[in-house]
Amino acid sequence: MVTLCEVGPRDGLQNLPRTFTVEEKITLITRLAAAGLSSIEAVSMVNPARVPQMAGAEEVLAGLPELPGVHLSALVLNLRGAERALATRIDGLRFAVVASDTFCRRNQGMSSEESVAEFARAAKAARSSERDIVAVIATAYGCPFEGEIAPARVARMVEAMIAAGASQVVLADTIGVAVPANIRCLHDHVAPVLGGRPWGVHLHNTRNTGYANLSTALELGTSVVDASIGGLGGCPFAPRATGNVATEDVNYLMQRSGVATGLDHDRLSDLVDWLDGLVPERITGQLGRAGWFGAEAAA
Amino acid sequence: MVTLCEVGPRDGLQNLPRTFTVEEKITLITRLAAAGLSSIEAVSMVNPARVPQMAGAEEVLAGLPELPGVHLSALVLNLRGAERALATRIDGLRFAVVASDTFCRRNQGMSSEESVAEFARAAKAARSSERDIVAVIATAYGCPFEGEIAPARVARMVEAMIAAGASQVVLADTIGVAVPANIRCLHDHVAPVLGGRPWGVHLHNTRNTGYANLSTALELGTSVVDASIGGLGGCPFAPRATGNVATEDVNYLMQRSGVATGLDHDRLSDLVDWLDGLVPERITGQLGRAGWFGAEAAA
């Protein structure tokens, strides 16, 4: 069973030139749920002075209707963010640590080691509130400032966070540099220290390797695949960052590979059309233009 | 050993809104060779009334300098095209047959079976001229008009063309619908009838699966990978066709995976810049914008 975790409302919106209103964010999340997404990273509990696109997280969550069967999570970078999230209706936390020290200091003002220690504090708070916490490891496949990241270093971080209570571990190619061999190599380092917890991938398609990496991760038995509707996304603190793998294209690849997703292609397409009207230059997903295989034949 | 076959001068240019001059085509091919491409599909011997972008094939070939170590090929669709090509300096032919009857009639005015028979005639002519002939099977993974194509049908065509003298077989996802499972499935059907001849893939990235398919083909031991500089390309007779996998991005994926390509990334990038000035809206390769991994770190 592979869970597609939709990160469009968070990663997708965080570096757009146009800041979505609270109302638009609520529309986006509600329509994602209606298209069949059962896991949605809905908000980010970061400083709105640093990332204005992410302002209004509490209002978004309060304004959302009941979404039965949908797991809503918040991205957090520190204990303060975790506490903000735990004061809301959120179902779980996704805590981002960063494998690269340099990137970690720029992104969240602490070292990698400090971010793992902060994860442990957040995990404790999550446990007290009976919410789950996912460990997301940014720049796990490479850093724009430090270059290659040693897989053994990532594995040590994973081990520490599993011990601290991570329910899952998501390995993130924040700047889209990985190739399938890297996915395989890091998997081989991390698998022995997962202690039976599921692992996943968060992939950016910056160098056209994102879907190849996804395909390899699926072969290796990934349980979680992050994707962003329309292929929006990118870290505001990574140079020349570009979007995540697109939910609608991931859905095509997975469904045509015989991996069930539970997603409704037509509803996803309608949602991409809506986003295309708002941020046309940022749509990197291709299914919207190309259509599902067979569409032309039927026309 | 994997040969990267550059199809930019043919597939890349054939559906552009802007027709390249003979001089521009010569520049393109010469610069591709200088970047390390040792196999180049340089021209297409088709009717210029149907595909005006491909006019001037003989002039292009006559105008090219000596290119030592570079294998130049011509795409042909019938015996007439083969004879045109064999009257030039060309090193080999790439003959396209089409797995779908409907597409074959629209693209080259004959049935699939007739195109295989025509291949045999062209192969005989090539043999007389001591040139090699590659069998390219278009719509091998799906047709915009007929939908799914039975892998057994493709395998029968391969068998016939191997018997008729094909030096290689290239399986083409003309409309970019394949997923890695399809690459695997067709490989499993075709491998037993190859008679030891190399096989390759020609992939379009229309639904963001092209690089995943490439990665799978490499795992399966493909010997030939078609790619187009900048990711230009698309069949003029396929609805909503888009570009091939991009040479510069394929080079990134392969080199970072430890597969030697012999290509010079900087020269490829310069060439992409040049193309970006001519057909900016058609560049789908991402390395030009993103840069090689480590570029930011060095900056």
DSSP B168-179: EEEEEETTS---
Looking at the partner chain, which of A143, A208, A287 has a beta carbon nearest the beta carbon of B286? Answer: A208
Contacts of A252 in chain B (CB under 8 A): 179, 207-209
CB A60 within 8 A of CB A29: yes
The pLDDT of residue B296 is 54
Nearest CA-CA partner of B68 in B34, B95, B18: B34
pLDDT, one tens digit per residue, over B31-77 is: 999 999 999 999 999 999 999 999 999 999 999 999 999 999 999 99
Q: Which residues of B130-169 are buried (b: 16+ CB within 10 A; e: fewer)?
A: ebbbbbbbbbbbbbbbeeebebebbbbbbbbbbebbbbbb
User: How many helical (H) and strand (E) elements, i.e. helices and strands, does chain A have?
Assistant: 12, 8
pLDDT, one tens digit per residue, over B243-272 is: 999 999 999 999 999 999 999 999 999 999
Looking at the partner chain, which of A207, A257, A293 has a beta carbon nearest the beta carbon of B180? Answer: A257
- Is residue A205 within 8 angstroms of chain B, CB to CB? yes
B228, pLDDT greater than 50:
yes
Cα distances from A135 to residues A32, B77, B95, in angstroms, run 23, 55, 52
In the predicted model, residues of chain A with pLDDT beneath 70 are: 295-299
Q: What is the mean pLDDT of chain B?
A: 95
- Is residue B102 within 8 angstroms of chain A, CB to CB? no
Helix (H, G, I), strand (E, B) or coil at B78: coil
The pLDDT of residue A236 is 82
Query: Distance between CA B239 and CA B299 in Å, rounded?
Result: 43
The pLDDT of residue B297 is 45
Query: Distance between CA B210 and CA A194 in Å, rounded?
Result: 32
Query: Distance between CA B26 and CA B28 in Å, rounded?
Result: 5
B148-153: Cβ within 8 A, 24+ apart: B149/B99, B149/B100, B151/B185, B151/B186, B151/B188, B151/B189, B151/B190, B152/B189, B153/B99
Looking at the partner chain, which of B144, B181, B215 has a beta carbon nearest the beta carbon of A257? Answer: B181
The pLDDT of residue A296 is 54
Helix (H, G, I), strand (E, B) or coil at B38: coil
Cβ within 8 Å, pair A147-B211 = no
Nearest CA-CA partner of A238 in A134, A100, A117, A111: A100
pLDDT band of residue B298 (cuts 50, 70, 90) is very low
Catalytic residue among A5, A104, A143, A235: A235
Looking at the partner chain, which of A206, A209, A253 has a beta carbon nearest the beta carbon of B209? Answer: A253
pLDDT band of residue B299 (cuts 50, 70, 90) is very low
- Is residue A280 within 8 angstroms of chain B, CB to CB? no
- Is residue A106 within 8 angstroms of chain B, CB to CB? no
Tokens of A295: 């569409």
Closest chain B residue to A295, measured at CA: B144
Tokens of A72: 């809503």
Cβ within 8 Å, pair B257-A179 = yes
- Is residue A212 within 8 angstroms of chain B, CB to CB? yes
Closest chain A residue to B183, measured at CA: A257
Q: How many CB atoms are closer than 10 A to CB A275? A: 26
Closest chain B residue to A141, measured at CA: B293
Residues in chain A: 299
pLDDT, one tens digit per residue, over A217-255 is: 999 999 999 999 999 998 888 877 889 999 999 999 999
Mean pLDDT for the stretch of residues B3-27: 96
The pLDDT of residue A299 is 37
DSSP, res A292 = S
- Is residue B183 within 8 angstroms of chain A, CB to CB? no
Return the residue in A174, A186, A204, A207 with the most chain B beta carbons within 10 A, the one to mutate for interface testing: A207
Contacts of A216 in chain B (CB under 8 A): 215
Nearest CA-CA partner of B184 in A265, A200, A209, A256: A256
Cβ within 8 Å, pair A209-B253 = yes
Nearest CA-CA partner of A201 in A248, A148, A244: A244
Q: Which domains does chain A have, with CATH numbers?
A: 3-298 (3.20.20.70)
- Our answer to whether residue A104 is catalytic in this structure is no
Cβ within 8 Å, pair A285-B208 = yes
Task: Kindly report the backbone phi and psi dihedral angles of residue B176, in degrees, each rounded to the nearest multiple of 5, phi listed first.
Answer: 60, 50
Looking at the partner chain, which of A176, A257, A291 has a beta carbon nearest the beta carbon of B179? Answer: A257
Looking at the partner chain, which of B246, B286, B294 has a beta carbon nearest the beta carbon of A206? Answer: B286
B31: Cβ–Cβ under 8 A, 6 or more apart, which residues?
A: B267, B270, B271, B274
Tokens of A213: 């990496």
Cβ within 8 Å, pair B181-A145 = no
Mean pLDDT for the stretch of residues B222-231: 98
B295, pLDDT greater than 70:
no
β-strand partners of A76 = A95
Looking at the partner chain, which of A214, A285, A293 has a beta carbon nearest the beta carbon of B212? Answer: A214
Judge if ipTM > 0.90.
yes
pLDDT band of residue B229 (cuts 50, 70, 90) is very high
Mean pLDDT for the stretch of residues B113-132: 98
Query: Distance between CA A68 and CA A87 in Å, rounded?
Result: 20
CB A78 within 8 A of CB A59: no
Packing angle between helix A247-256 and helix A210-219, nearest 10 degrees? 40
Cβ within 8 Å, pair B207-A245 = no
Distance from CA of A166 to the nearest CA of B (A): 30
CB B149 within 8 A of CB B140: yes
**A/B interface, count of CB pairs below 8 Å:** 126
Cβ within 8 Å, pair A245-B208 = yes
B2, pLDDT greater than 70:
yes
Cβ within 8 Å, pair B215-A215 = yes
Tokens of B179: 């997923």
Distance from CA of A146 to the nearest CA of B (A): 6
Mean pLDDT for the stretch of residues B151-166: 98
Cβ within 8 Å, pair B207-A177 = no
Contacts of B212 in chain A (CB under 8 A): 211-212, 214-215, 253
The strand ranges marked E within chain A are 3-6, 39-44, 71-76, 92-98, 132-138, 168-173, 199-203, 224-227
Taking the C-alpha atoms of B162, B164, B165 and B171 in order, what is their torsion angle to the nearest 10 degrees?
Answer: -40
Query: Distance between CA A115 and CA B151 in Å, rounded?
Result: 51
Cβ within 8 Å, pair A253-B293 = no
Query: Distance between CA B208 and CA A11 in Å, rounded?
Result: 20
- Is residue B245 within 8 angstroms of chain A, CB to CB? yes
Packing angle between helix B79-86 and helix B112-128, nearest 10 degrees? 20
Tokens of A86: 């735990």
The H-assigned helical ranges of B2-111 are: 22-34, 57-63, 79-86, 101-108
CB A86 within 8 A of CB A76: no
Distance from CA of A68 to the nearest CA of B (A): 31
- Is residue B149 within 8 angstroms of chain A, CB to CB? no
